[in-house]
Amino acid sequence: MTVILETQGLVKRFAGLTATDNVSFTLEEGHIHALIGPNGAGKSTLIHQLCGNLLPSEGRILFAGQDVTRLAPAARVALGLGRTFQVTSLLGEFTVRQNMAVAVQARLGGNLRIFDRMTGRREVWEETDELLGKSPLGKRADIIVDDLSQGERKQLELLVSLAGRPKVLLLDEPMAGLGHAESLDMIEVLKGLRGTVTILLVEHDMDAVFALADRISVLVYGRIIMTGSAEEIAGSADVREAYLGNEDELC
């Protein structure tokens, strides 16, 4: 097993509050690793430090063996540490296929926003269609993004992140706001990524977590109280107590 992402003694303090409290955590290459915990446990704060939107107060972040603790977000993306959902923005008045092409083009270099110049670049469109072909969205390639359902938009945001060919994807609640059927679609899309990209998945939807995760870590008051398989987490008295103590559901 290879560790691709690791934190060592990570601490993030906001005025009077320790949102990340000495978190040492490893992500194995190829895994889908879920991070769960009650509201306010510090899940998003941890993700923001991993992608570089927030600098830690203490500790280190290692990505593929390199210390990235103080690197800017764009430099981390360039190394293959993919951004979360919330950072991605889509071009609403363009088609699914055009949005994908912009993302592919961004990785290959060259003009970002000028479609006219881009139409000549065959490799951009080939890779765009290959990525779309593997997704249920392939059937919706010529639809304008503003006309997509919420679930389809989320799928496109995910595909756009993949266009950067990340080694690791950090996903902060990709099912948020989706209906039941849309969540099931998203679970299928994420399942299809297994083996091609390592994923750290923050998610409230426990059906999704149990369907997808190879490992689960439980964060409570900024600390990881347990890491284990789905069975170990579901059967843990400590985890149950932590959630009951918060009068919150297992999420």
Q: Is 14 in the site for ligand ADP (CB under 6 A)?
A: yes
83 binds, among ligand ADP, Mg ion, none (CB under 5 to 8 A by kind): none
Region from 41-49, 133-141, 143-151, 233-241 binding ligand ADP, contact rule CB under 6 A: 41-49
- Cα gap 158→239, rounded to integer Å: 30
Q: Is 220 in the site for ligand ADP (CB under 6 A)?
A: no
Q: Measured between alpha carbons, how far is residue 201 from residues 29, 112, 118, 160, 180 in Å? A: 14, 29, 33, 17, 18
Q: Which is nearer to ligand ADP, 14 or 115 (CB)?
A: 14
Q: Measured between alpha carbons, how far is residue 97 from residues 139, 151, 211 in Å? A: 10, 17, 29
Give the x/- contact pattern for Mg ion in 30-59, rule: CB under 5 A: -------------xx---------------
- Cα gap 165→103, rounded to integer Å: 10
40 binds, among Mg ion, ligand ADP, none (CB under 5 to 8 A by kind): ligand ADP
Element (H, E) at 231: helix 230-234
The gap from C-alpha 60 to its chain's centroid, in whole angstroms, comes to 20
- Cα gap 197→58, rounded to integer Å: 28
User: Using the rule CB under 6 A, which residue among 4, 34, 36, 43 binds ligand ADP?
Assistant: 43
42 binds, among ligand ADP, Mg ion, none (CB under 5 to 8 A by kind): ligand ADP
Q: Is 154 in the site for ligand ADP (CB under 6 A)?
A: no
Q: Is there a contact between 92 and 102 (Cβ–Cβ < 8 Å)?
A: no
- Site size toward ligand ADP (CB under 6 A) is 11
User: Using the rule CB under 6 A, which residue among 5, 23, 41, 201 binds ligand ADP?
Assistant: 41
Q: Residue for token digits 């706001």?
A: 177
Q: Which is nearer to ligand ADP, 16 or 195 (CB)?
A: 16
45-84: which residues touch ligand ADP (CB under 6 A)?
45
Supply the Cα-derived Rg of the chain in whole angstroms: 19
**In angstroms, what is the minimal distance from the CB of 52 to ligand ADP?**
15
**In angstroms, what is the minimal distance from the CB of 201 to ligand ADP?**
13
DSSP string, 36-61: E-STTSSHHHHHHHHHTSS--SEEEE
Q: Which is nearer to ligand ADP, 145 or 175 (CB)?
A: 175
